[in-house]
């Protein structure tokens, strides 16, 4: 079986993480206990996960002409991701997330500065049109302009009907109806499903009702991720299917949702049935919570060989 071809159009960030004795008050200066620089952005995370499973991944993203942009491009290459369309912006800095984590409670305070991510434009999408049309799966998130995502999905569905379009609507924002109609698989979590529909989604019946509402607006299939409880799949008109996650003692759940999306894209690129792809993606996302960090917690192909057979 040939390696699936995945095009990721989305965000790249550098995470600047400080451990602190408490979240500082306005105007207060504190000494931190530990600092860590990591690679992030939901788009980058999902691309890395798919690449680690063996997919041929092309990243379409925008960074600044700065050291963080250089590091981001190097990280993509290290993970075997094609960087032809890691574009540079001459006026904006690379995207960053400034994260303070309370040593005692684990609570955090986060400031995200999108920077060059906000400059990834519909015109840039046309620049990388060949990469879209050569892919089996196109994945996007909501950390770049909606107009850019819409143009990418239009190209995929209007010019190459075989491409599976996956939208991870995070962070949640109102979705244009044309974008929903161009989406094959929508992957919100429970909170995002509620925000997208204005409906509650805490119980299984409520989650199904929210998913059906999204289907009525045009999306084909909906997967609602449920954290440590797994996922719920609403495939077409079929009854909902629940895929439980293995019970484990989580060390760090950061990035588990991105591990799920990247894995699902890989398995759909292999032409696996959606229910099978969801089961395998749940298992891989569960493994990711056993290690600290985001991309650093994502397993490599050899670590999950039993899930790739």
Torsion angle defined by CA atoms of residues 183, 201, 252 and 168, in that order, rounded to the nearest 10 degrees:
10
Give me the mean pLDDT over the 19-42 stretch.
92
Active site residue 258: yes
Q: What is the pLDDT of residues 122-155, one digit of tens each?
A: 999 999 999 999 999 999 999 999 999 999 999 9
3-state SS class at 164: strand
Do 262 and 49 touch, CB atoms closer than 8 A? Answer: yes
- The crossing angle, in degrees rounded to 10, of helices 256-269 and 274-288 is 150
Give residue 107's pLDDT. Answer: 76
The torsion angles phi and psi of 50, rounded to 5 degrees, stand at -65, -40
Q: Cα 37 from chain centroid?
A: 19
Integer Cα distance of 298 and 236 in angstroms = 30
DSSP letters spanning 106-140: --EEEEEE-GGGGG--HHHHHHTHHHHHT-SEEEE
Give residue 294's pLDDT. Answer: 87
Give me the mean pLDDT over the 13-39 stretch.
92
Q: What is the pLDDT of residues 199-236, one digit of tens each?
A: 998 888 999 999 999 999 999 999 999 988 999 999 99
Give residue 96's pLDDT. Answer: 96
Q: What is the pLDDT of residues 76-89, one digit of tens each?
A: 999 999 999 999 99
pTM of the model: 0.94
Residue in the structure block whose two tokens are 């925000």: 195
Q: What is the pLDDT of residues 146-182, one digit of tens each?
A: 999 999 999 999 999 899 999 999 999 999 999 999 9
Asked if the peptide bond before residue 163 counts as cis, ω within 30 degrees of 0, the response is no
Give residue 264's pLDDT. Answer: 98
Is 5-22+32-307 a CATH 2.40.50.140 domain? no
- The band of 93, judged by pLDDT with boundaries at 50, 70 and 90, is very high
Neighbours of 275 (CB within 10 A): 14
Q: For the chain, give every domain's residue range.
A: 5-22+32-307
């Amino acid at each position: 079986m040939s390696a699936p071809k995945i095009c990721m159009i989305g965000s790249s960030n550098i995470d600047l993480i400080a451990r602190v004795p408490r979240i500082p008050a306005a105007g207060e200066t504190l000494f931190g206990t530990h600092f860590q620089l990591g690679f992030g952005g939901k788009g980058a995370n999902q691309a890395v996960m798919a690449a680690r499973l063996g997919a041929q991944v092309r990243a379409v993203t925008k960074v600044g002409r700065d050291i963080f942009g250089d590091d981001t491009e190097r990280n993509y290459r290290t993970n075997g991701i094609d960087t032809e369309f890691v574009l540079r912006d001459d006026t904006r800095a690379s995207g960053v997330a400034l994260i303070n984590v309370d040593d005692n409670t684990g609570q955090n305070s986060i400031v995200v500065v999108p920077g060059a991510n906000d400059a990834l434009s519909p015109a840039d999408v046309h620049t990388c049109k060949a990469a879209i049309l050569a892919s089996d799966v196109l994945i996007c998130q909501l950390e770049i302009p909606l107009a850019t995502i819409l143009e990418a999905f239009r190209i995929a569905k209007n010019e190459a009907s075989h491409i599976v379009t996956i939208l991870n609507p995070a962070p949640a924002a109102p979705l244009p109806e044309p974008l929903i109609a161009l989406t094959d698989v929508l992957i919100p979590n429970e909170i995002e499903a509620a925000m997208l529909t204005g409906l509650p989604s805490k119980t299984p019946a409520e989650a199904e009702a929210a998913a059906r509402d999204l289907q009525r607006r045009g999306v084909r299939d909906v997967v609602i991720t449920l954290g440590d409880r797994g996922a719920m799949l609403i495939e077409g008109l079929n009854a909902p299917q629940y895929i439980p996650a293995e019970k484990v003692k989580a060390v760090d759940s950061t990035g588990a949702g991105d591990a799920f999306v990247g894995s699902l894209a890989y398995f759909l690129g292999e032409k696996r049935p959606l229910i099978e792809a969801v089961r395998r993606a749940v298992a891989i996302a569960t493994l990711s919570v056993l290690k600290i960090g985001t991309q650093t917690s994502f397993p490599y192909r050899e670590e999950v060989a039993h899930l790739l057979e």
